[in-house]
Structure 1
Amino acid sequence: MRILVVHNRYRSGQPSGENNVVDRETGLLADAGHDVELFEKRSDDIEAMPMAAKAAVPLRVPWNGRVRRELRQLLERSRPDIVHIHNTFPLLSPSVAAACADTGTPAVATLHNYTPVCPPGTLFRNGDVCTDCVGRLPIPAVAHGCYRGSRAATIPLAVSTAANRARLRGGNGIARYFCISAAQRAMLIQAGLPAQRLAVKHNVVADPGVRRTSSGSHVLYLGRLTPEKGIPLLMTAWDELAASGGIGVPLVIAGAGPLADEVTAWARDRHDVRYLGLRSPADCAELTARAATVVAPSAWLEAFGLIVVEAMAAGVPTVAPSHGAFPELVEDGITGLLHRPHDAGSLAEALRRIVLKTAWNRDMGVAARLRYERDFTPEVGLERLISGYREAIAGRLCEPV
């Protein structure tokens, strides 16, 4: 199969799960013998642009006619069987779907977040879940400056969300949208996107090659240090545990982000917390395999939760909130524990139980690995990806869920 992958890469200095998913999928396809071509733009290139071109970037977020022409010319030359669209912000725009329609090329798109219904894509504002723009014009997003705390920076995204909503509902030349969880799909249907074009295709992760062999030596948080990822909640819960005598293992935090200074100050001079900063993929795999549990205390409605599946692959149970995609991924009491969202006491109690009940913890780790092997291996992902491509090429609509 000839496949053209379309993606706007996030900045290299910012860890990106989406970049990793795209790289993983293109590698899987190529290794399976498919002919994969990339049509990419890189956000890193914005910095080197002339001032006039840089100033024009926000204006082209809703629609980039130049990219439409460029992609159309490529499609006419290479004639792929299908186009797979990923992120289009900020240098591509939804016009890439129009280029596919121009040439009659079947296209699918993975929706990695909630950008079709929320300009910043997070459904998160002021430390809590926000659905003010779901199913309506994204005026609240502009009023609150939801993207980077800036009304000016939010306007291009809001215009794009509003201007392309009708195209999304009509298909926009895209035969099938891949949602990365059933929870995300349900939210998008609530906002008016066509259910018959929305399929659930979970992300997958490679086998890390290392698994847990003991009860684990620490609780691990691995990811971006941002409010929506629940770092403030985790610090509060850990302080509660420390005040009651602790749970016998330290909290290890690995990652980077805007709350790094706050985490550094909080962890300083504590024997029960270690902040490691940003680590290599190999280091992260080793840290995961030595964890008693991996904690993902997200305050926002995660559309997937890659870290949970990475922990499963290493045979490690997880603790996560009972909202967003996590109830699909974490079988409460079987592969991990779910806590009440935004509730530090509930999170602290879940961490206490999962660490101190060591036999139960080991059983959950075994069950987590079995769940990974059933649903989240690269082989499973490749099969579902190719199946989705073939159904889109054939024009078959999604089965009701």
Structure 2
Amino acid sequence: MRVLVVHNRYSSAQPSGENRVVDEEVDLLRTAGHRVEVFERRSDDISGRSLLGKVAVPLLVPWNPAVRSELAARLRAGRPDVVHVHNVFPLLSPAVLAACADAGVPAVATLHNYNQICPPGTLQRDGRLCTECVGAPAPLPAVRHGCYRGSRLATVPLAVGMSVNRRRWWSGVERFFCISAAQRDLLVRSGMPAERLAVKHNFVPDPGACRADGGEHLLFLGRLAEAKGVRHLMAAWDEVAAGGGVGVPLVLAGAGPLEQEVTAWAAGRDDVRYVGLYDPAQCREAVARSVAVVAPSLALETFGLVVAEAMAAGVPAVAAGHGAFVELVEDGVTGLLHRPGDPHSLASCIRRITTGRAENLEMGRAARIRYEQGFSPDVGLERLEEGYRTAIAGRYGGAQDASPTGNGRAGSRRGTRAGGDGGS
């Protein structure tokens, strides 16, 4: 197949899991022999704009007519079989869907967050779950509370874009990829068309080596923010330490608004290490050396890459028992689930995962099997190709091998992957 990937890259100042997922999917498809091109904008480029250009950015969030014209021209010239849309905020806008319609090319879209039903896409306000805008005819509560960056003014373009483009999204996308069943269920309850929503978990590249022994530390890897449960983790660890500890340190890797608080909390302690941001290789090494990975998020996570990465390395996870975590982690089998927002429950799980060596090792083996069955590159490629074929067939009358050029490129490529390595 010929695929055009559309993505507005997030700022490089903060590592983006979504950017990484997009890049890894592009590489996976190309390795499998598909012809993939990318149409993108970069949020980093905003800083280089003139003052007037920066002021105009919020006006482009609901609709960017220049992008519509540019993308439509590229689609007519290149005639891809399908367009795969990821993030369109802030420089692309839903005008990309109009461009697909102009050129007569089917579109699929991955929903990496909840921005179809929540202007900032987080379902969070003041560190707590918020669903005030879910199912509402207009997301006025988000504006009232200033849910995006704590600013009513900054929230307005997102709220306007969500309101005026809702039907365009729902009618202009042949297939939505939800990255968890939990996300899909919530979107269906909000009124999105169930028949267009398919579950396609993110895949994780195979790290090539699994944990060799029981590990040497407990690991938190992620954004240091209230919504990620960092304060609850610190409270739980203090409870564990007050009881004599568990014999291994807690390592926190990441950056974010709570960085100073975490640095001060970890200072002078032998049982805690704050290591700042890790590069990808350091992340893989830290995961593979973990007794367990901890994911205490207060948010209803749409997926949870760090949990899947732990599974790939044969490492169990301790995760909050809500959102996508409940389908990634089988409690007591591939890891442990704690009561969300409850430091005492989290502390209890930490004690269990670190002191029961035999159980921990068995959970790690089960986690690796779960990864191979659900989150490997082979599985990811199969689900991508299936989604593309469904979208192309829907756009061109239901023929399994239909494509704009009539050459049958939409047919399955299983068994003919370039290099024979399954895209790993």
Cα offset for 1:191? Answer: 1.1
Match of 1:211 in 2: 210
Cα offset for 1:27? Answer: 0.2
- Identity over the aligned pairs, expressed in percent? 65
Specify the SS of the correspondent of 2:90.
Answer: coil
Cα offset for 1:245? Answer: 1.1
Match of 1:158 in 2: 159
Give the structure-1-normalised TM-score. 0.97
Cα offset for 1:230? Answer: 0.9
**Is the deviation greater in 329-338 or in 159-168?**
159-168
Match of 1:139 in 2: 140
Match of 1:238 in 2: 237
Specify the SS of the correspondent of 2:273.
Answer: strand
Match of 2:403 in 1: none
Q: For residues 327-383 of structure 1, give each alpha carbon's deviation from its aligned partner in whole angstroms, at most 9, with x where no partner exists.
A: 110000000000001101001101111111110000000000011011111111001
Task: Please list, as runs of the form range in 1=range in 2, the aligned pairs for 1:25-44 lying within 5 A after superposition.
Answer: 25-44=25-44
| C-alpha distance in structure 1 between counterparts of 2:39 and 2:180, whole Å | 26
Q: For residues 9-37 of structure 1, give each alpha carbon's deviation from its aligned partner in whole angstroms, at most 9, with x where no partner exists.
A: 00111110100000000000111111111
Q: Is the 8 A contact 2:97 2:169 kept in 1?
A: no
Matched AA of 1:166: R
Cα offset for 1:280? Answer: 1.2
Match of 1:199 in 2: 198
Task: Please list, as runs of the form range in 1=range in 2, the aligned pairs for 1:2-401 lying within 5 A after superposition.
Answer: 2-136=2-136, 137-169=138-170, 171=171, 173-395=172-394
Specify the SS of the correspondent of 2:274.
Answer: strand
| C-alpha distance in structure 2 between counterparts of 1:91 and 1:74, whole Å | 17
Matched AA of 1:2: R
Q: For residues 87-106 of structure 1, give each alpha carbon's deviation from its aligned partner in whole angstroms, at most 9, with x where no partner exists.
A: 00000001101110111101
Cα offset for 1:167? Answer: 2.2
Specify the SS of the correspondent of 2:352.
Answer: helix
Matched AA of 2:245: G
Matched AA of 1:250: P
| C-alpha distance in structure 1 between counterparts of 2:282 and 2:209, whole Å | 11
Give the structure-2-normalised TM-score. 0.92
| C-alpha distance in structure 2 between counterparts of 1:166 and 1:86, whole Å | 18
Specify the SS of the correspondent of 1:57.
Answer: helix
Q: For residues 304-338 of structure 1, give each alpha carbon's deviation from its aligned partner in whole angstroms, at most 9, with x where no partner exists.
A: 00100000000000000111000110000000000
Q: Is the 8 A contact 1:210 1:286 kept in 2?
A: no
Cα offset for 1:166? Answer: 2.5
Gaps of 5+ in 1: none
| C-alpha distance in structure 2 between counterparts of 1:158 and 1:342, whole Å | 29
| C-alpha distance in structure 1 between counterparts of 2:384 and 2:336, whole Å | 30
Specify the SS of the correspondent of 1:334.
Answer: coil
Q: For residues 251-276 of structure 1, give each alpha carbon's deviation from its aligned partner in whole angstroms, at most 9, with x where no partner exists.
A: 00011111111110110001110000
Q: Is the 8 A contact 2:97 2:168 kept in 1?
A: no
| C-alpha distance in structure 2 between counterparts of 1:125 and 1:344, whole Å | 20
Matched AA of 2:160: V
Cα offset for 1:215? Answer: 1.0
**Is the deviation greater in 119-128 or in 159-168?**
159-168
Give the alignment's Cα RMSD to 1 decimal.
1.0
Gaps of 5+ in 2: 399-424
Number of equivalenced pairs: 395
| C-alpha distance in structure 1 between counterparts of 2:120 and 2:385, whole Å | 30
Specify the SS of the correspondent of 2:270.
Answer: coil
